[in-house]
């Protein structure tokens, strides 16, 4: 195997593992901040107990997010040095700003949140919770500004043998990036909502801490519903953006081979890359793809055959990732809506089958979010920066044996750590909330409490 393929695999593996932790961090940070706000406002310790329980799962998840992100930060240099040389004048800044603006905020205030319950006042503690939430949301902005630039490069000139930044504001306000941003944030809410719902379902099925998890269930439901509706809406606009900016990705997502007007949308499609056609196309709505992409059912959509083979992304992978993601999105919408209905009818506790469905649905949003990134990144191929630089030219001159070593190490070690981390999250989730004693509630005693997510 060559260094390009190995480096691509390594990037996919590290970023894929990293993104198993990111969405929950974003959504849970917000949930915990909201719960704690309710506690501080009402003095109702049930909300404190909720913030602590969900916050503990957040922290176990957070650690792996941090460490898997660390390798990402250096990987552009180790494995993609030609890319870094050519694009660094633009691409490096968002990463540096992300650290300065977001990572310090997150790391400092998460520590105050975890260890500061008895060291700082209620209000300062609440402030810390919101700073963590702000940090996670800011962090996403900068990394997506960076990625958005790879999707739709703006604000640069080619000079001195590299791409040089000439308009920072254009890079930051890149509408492509902002479309991605909202889609990613809302998908993080969906994932977080479904994790909350699944864990609540686990306890409700066993009749444990029923009041606690019924209350939590509502939080999960609200964030899941907001997320899933928002994801659908932003996904639509995102798709329109892709159709305009990256026609090759759009054609691959929809498996459109021939350029034409009034492109229909089919419910069932099976593309074949070798024959450059779709052997199966069934249940079509005329002009729907054209309409969804350009608000006009007779708009022209570019087909893959009009794009040279060397400039096409892998069609099957892009197509199926997109399809399955969309199907999962529809599933999330149906489940969340049905959950809302049961909740409103007060029939949730009797619906054991639905609760089991929720429990077993926990992995699905993880799959969906990683499929989304697969569409984004694989669909952009053969480019690292769309239209500017190919992936093959971006790679480091490092010997393939080095990359093979690091790839093997990353796969083995990350798999072990990630497996262990999910096991620990599950263990703590199954244990349920810890009782909040009256004494602890308004305690002013300064007591060291340095154990993160202690088991006691």
Footprint on residues 110-139 left by other proteins (CB under 8 A):
110-112, 114-116, 119-120
- The interface region with other proteins, picked from 223-231, 246-254, 331-339, 408-416 by CB under 8 A, is 408-416
| Position among 1, 409, 431, 443 found at the interface with other proteins (CB under 8 A) | 409
- Cα 340 from chain centroid? 24
Task: Please state, as a whole number, how many other Cβ atoms lie within 10 Å of the Cβ of residue 275.
Answer: 9
In angstroms, give the least distance from the CB of 54 to other proteins.
17
What are residue 159's DSSP bridge partners? 162
| 40-43 contacts at long range (C-beta below 8 A, 24 or more positions apart) | 40/122, 40/123, 40/126
Residue 78 within binding range of other proteins, rule CB under 8 A: yes
Q: Which of 5, 38, 66, 411 binds other proteins (CB under 8 A)?
A: 66
Q: Which stretch binds other proteins (CB under 8 A): 91-99, 302-310, 319-327, 347-355?
A: 91-99
* Full 3-state SS string of 244-270: HHCHHHHHHHHCCCCCEECCCEEEEEE
Token output for 180 = 């991605």
The reply on whether position 316 binds other proteins by CB under 8 A is no
Q: Which stretch binds other proteins (CB under 8 A): 181-189, 218-226, 320-328, 447-455?
A: 447-455
Report, in Å, the least distance between residue 135 CB and other proteins.
11
By CB under 8 A, which span of 107-115, 174-182, 304-312, 336-344 interacts with other proteins? 107-115
Nearest distance, CB of residue 1 and other proteins, angstroms: 17
Tell me: does residue 406 bind other proteins (CB under 8 A): yes
Asked whether 285 and 292 are in contact (CB, 8 A), the reply is no
Q: Rounded to whole angstroms, how far apart are CA atoms 451 and 114?
A: 9
Of residues 68, 187, 248, 318, which one binds other proteins by CB under 8 A? 68
Q: Which of 37, 45, 71, 272 binds other proteins (CB under 8 A)?
A: 71
Q: Which of 393, 371, 410 shows the shortest CA–CA distance to 9?
A: 410
Residue ranges in 151-170 that form contacts with other proteins under rule CB under 8 A: 159-160, 162, 164-166, 168
Out of 37, 93, 277, 390, the residue judged to bind other proteins by CB under 8 A: 93
Q: Which is nearer to other proteins, 14 or 376 (CB)?
A: 14
CA atoms of 53 and 428, how far apart (whole Å): 9
Residue of the chain from 45, 108, 240, 390 that contacts other proteins (CB under 8 A) = 108
Return the structure tokens found at 440.
Answer: 């602890």
Does the protein bind other proteins through residue 384 (CB under 8 A)?
no
Q: In this structure, is the dihedral angle defined by the CA atoms of residues 340, 351, 199 and 208, taken in order, positive or negative? A: positive
- Record the tokens describing residue 137, joined without a space: 């949301």
CB of 16 to other proteins, least distance (A): 15
How many residues in the chain?
456
- Positions 2 through 61 that interact with other proteins (CB under 8 A): 60
Query: Rounded CA gap, 249 and 307, in Å?
Result: 11
- The yes or no reply on residue 96 touching other proteins (CB under 8 A) is yes
b/e per residue 336-365 (b: at least 16 CB within 10 A):
beebeebeeeeebeebeebbebbbebbebb
**Partner residues linked to 260 by β-bridges:** 301
Q: Is 84 a binder of other proteins (CB under 8 A)?
A: yes
Stretch that binds other proteins, among 221-229, 327-335, 338-346, 404-412 (CB under 8 A): 404-412
Number of residues that bind other proteins (CB under 8 A): 80
| Interacting residue with other proteins among 23, 27, 88, 227 (CB under 8 A) | 88
């Amino acid at each position: 195997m060559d260094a390009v393929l190995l480096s691509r695999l390594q990037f996919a593996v590290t970023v894929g593992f990293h993104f198993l932790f990111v969405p929950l961090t974003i959504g849970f940070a917000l949930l915990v901040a909201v719960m704690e706000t309710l506690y501080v406002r009402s003095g109702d310790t049930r909300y404190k107990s909720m913030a602590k329980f969900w916050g503990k799962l957040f922290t176990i998840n957070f650690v792996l997010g941090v460490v898997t992100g660390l390798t990402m930060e250096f990987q552009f240099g180790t494995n993609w040095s030609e890319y870094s040389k050519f694009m660094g004048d633009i691409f490096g800044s968002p990463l540096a700003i992300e650290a300065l603006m977001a990572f310090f905020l997150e790391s400092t205030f998460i520590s105050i949140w975890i260890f500061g319950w008895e060291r700082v006042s209620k209000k300062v503690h609440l402030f810390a919770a919101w700073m963590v939430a702000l940090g996670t949301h800011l962090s996403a902005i900068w990394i997506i500004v960076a990625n958005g630039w790879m999707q739709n490069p703006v604000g640069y000139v080619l000079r001195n043998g590299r791409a040089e930044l000439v308009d920072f504001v254009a890079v930051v306000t890149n509408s492509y990036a902002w479309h991605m941003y909202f889609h990613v944030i809302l998908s993080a809410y969906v994932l977080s909502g479904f994790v909350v719902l699944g864990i609540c379902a686990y306890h409700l099925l066993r009749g444990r801490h029923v009041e606690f998890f019924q209350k939590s269930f509502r939080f999960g439901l609200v964030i899941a519903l907001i997320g899933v509706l928002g994801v659908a809406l932003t996904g639509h606009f995102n798709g329109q953006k892709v159709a305009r900016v990256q026609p090759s990705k759009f054609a691959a997502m929809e498996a459109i081979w021939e350029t034409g007007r009034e492109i229909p949308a089919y419910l069932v499609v099976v593309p074949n890359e070798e024959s450059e056609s779709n052997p199966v196309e069934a249940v079509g709505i005329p002009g729907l793809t054209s309409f969804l992409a350009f608000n006009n059912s007779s708009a022209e959509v570019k087909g893959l055959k009009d794009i040279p083979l060397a400039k096409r992304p892998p069609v099957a992978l892009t197509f199926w990732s997109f399809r399955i993601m969309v199907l999962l999105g529809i599933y999330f919408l149906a489940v969340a809506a049905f959950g809302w209905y049961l909740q409103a009818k007060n029939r949730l506790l009797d619906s054991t089958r639905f609760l089991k469905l929720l429990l077993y649905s926990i992995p699905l949003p993880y799959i969906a979010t990683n499929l989304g990134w697969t569409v984004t990144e694989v669909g952009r191929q053969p480019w690292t920066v769309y239209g500017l630089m190919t992936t093959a030219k971006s790679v480091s001159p490092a010997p393939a044996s080095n990359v093979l070593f690091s790839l093997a190490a990353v796969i083995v070690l990350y798999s072990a750590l990630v497996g262990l981390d999910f096991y620990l999250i599950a263990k703590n989730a199954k244990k349920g909330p810890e009782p909040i004693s009256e004494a602890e509630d308004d305690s002013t005693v300064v007591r060291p409490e340095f154990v993160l997510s202690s088991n006691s």
